[in-house]
Structure 1
Amino acid sequence: MTTSEIILNKVAPIFNKQGYVGTSLTDITKATGLTKGAIYCNFSNKEDLALKSFQLNVKLAITPLFKLVSNQQGSINKLNTITDYQRSYYDLVKDRGGCPMLRAGVDTKFINPLLFQAAQNLSQKFTVGLTTIITEGIHNNEIQPNTDPVQCAKIILSLIEGSSLLAFTHNDPSYINTAMDFIDNSIIKSIRK
């Protein structure tokens, strides 16, 4: 493992827990046991380290979902894979500070444009992916033809991220489970052909 990877493994959860703004260089040097110089030999600045930490947090928390979905056949199966994954999401990320997309999107909008753009791009990727799944479902005769794929995708993503925010705010995964049940039993059921 390279020094950069060691640093990222130690500080990525700290950035996600304390916030990308709230994490100081002292927090970073304390967590790694390295000097400021050693940190900056591996990363150009704190913003670079924060961005790479965000990318690692996404790789650990969200990329597995994208892989699971890509291995599924049929739009309904893909949508159910997403809600099933989300039901275990709280336990997956609770020790790492919660959802990295949510954390970075809220934390960095006005102070770190590069990191905010990365979070916004991830959100757009999620929306486009959901839209594509729903559109394919319409074309494959799995989903009602009068379904608006973009609107439905935005509602599903809003329920996922909103329930994640509330679950971490209240330390209660039932917010996520209830929202996923609503997606399964109300949204998916109502658009299914």
Structure 2
Amino acid sequence: MSKGELTRQRIIEEAAPIFNQRGFAGCSMQDVLEATGLEKGGVYRHFASKEDLAAEAFRYAWARVAKARREGQDAIPGAVEKLKYSVRRFAETPGIFPGGCPLMNTAIDSDDGNPLLRSLVCAAMKEWKARLVSIVEDGIAAGEIRKEVEPRRIANSMIATLEGALMISRLEGNRTAVEDARKTLESMLDGIAIAESR
């Protein structure tokens, strides 16, 4: 990596937690300058606009969070166990970024006014959902999951339950909702398994 590329990456890494905590509107370029110690020109040499930087900061934050949540999943045998592992990783992996989940934060932040960030969040959600759907489909094909199970419904239920529980836990200042979600989803996943594969 060249010196310029290293500087650009450092700006993204230091801006990501700020955007995640304060949102696009709440994060000023002055905040980024203070975090990086760079002059305005030093940042704008690498990013055309604040929106450009925010987009890269989201890509970076989500890639790190998604990787942490998936770590070790491929080594888990069986579709239902893979799905349960996903739930446990979500529930037990501490937040990487201050302010909570970048997907939820950016989705809420961009919903009414930032088409670029909204499109990035939609793509990230689509990728997460597709990964879960694929695991369910593999489980159906392998005879581990009942044929009548709708993969999309399982993926949507898992994501909505986990993200909603994370929001409640952050508001209440404890992990109770996340732990409740984990137990509920594990029961749901036991329910879609064919008895012999449990």
Q: TM-score, normalised by structure 2?
A: 0.90
Which residue is equivalent to 2:57? Answer: 53
Query: Is structure 2 residue 186 aligned with structure 1 residue 191?
Result: no
Q: Which runs of 5+ in 2 are unaligned?
A: none
CA RMSD of superposed structures (Å): 1.5
Query: Is structure 2 residue 8 aligned with structure 1 residue 7?
Result: no
- For residues 18-49 of structure 1, what are the alpha-carbon distances to aligned partners after superposition, in whole Å with 9 as ceiling and x for unaligned? 11221011111111111111110011110111
Kept in 1: contact 2:61–2:102 (CA 8 A): yes
1:102 Cα deviation from its structure 2 partner? 0.4
3-state SS of paired residue (1:19): helix
Kept in 2: contact 1:21–1:108 (CA 8 A): no
Q: Which moved more, 1:118-127 or 1:1-10?
A: 1-10
Corresponding letter in the other structure for 1:135:
E
Q: Which runs of 5+ in 1 are unaligned?
A: none
Rounded Cα–Cα distance in structure 2 between residues aligned with 1:143 and 1:87: 23
Kept in 1: contact 2:70–2:89 (CA 8 A): no
Which residue is equivalent to 1:125? Answer: 127
Rounded Cα–Cα distance in structure 1 between residues aligned with 2:37 and 2:113: 27
Kept in 2: contact 1:167–1:176 (CA 8 A): yes
Query: Is structure 2 residue 85 aligned with structure 1 residue 84?
Result: no
Kept in 2: contact 1:131–1:150 (CA 8 A): yes
Matched-pair identity in %: 26
Rounded Cα–Cα distance in structure 2 between residues aligned with 1:190 and 1:139: 17
Which residue is equivalent to 2:23? Answer: 19
3-state SS of paired residue (1:42): coil
Query: Is structure 2 residue 164 aligned with structure 1 residue 162?
Result: yes
Query: Is structure 2 residue 194 aligned with structure 1 residue 178?
Result: no
Rounded Cα–Cα distance in structure 2 between residues aligned with 1:43 and 1:114: 15
Kept in 2: contact 1:83–1:183 (CA 8 A): yes
1:67 Cα deviation from its structure 2 partner? 4.5
3-state SS of paired residue (1:97): coil
3-state SS of paired residue (2:177): helix
Corresponding letter in the other structure for 1:99:
C
| Number of corresponding residues | 190
Q: TM-score, normalised by structure 1?
A: 0.92
Corresponding letter in the other structure for 1:170:
E
Identify if the C-alpha distance between structure 1 residues 147 and 169 changes in structure 2 by more than 3 Å, giving closer, same or farther: same
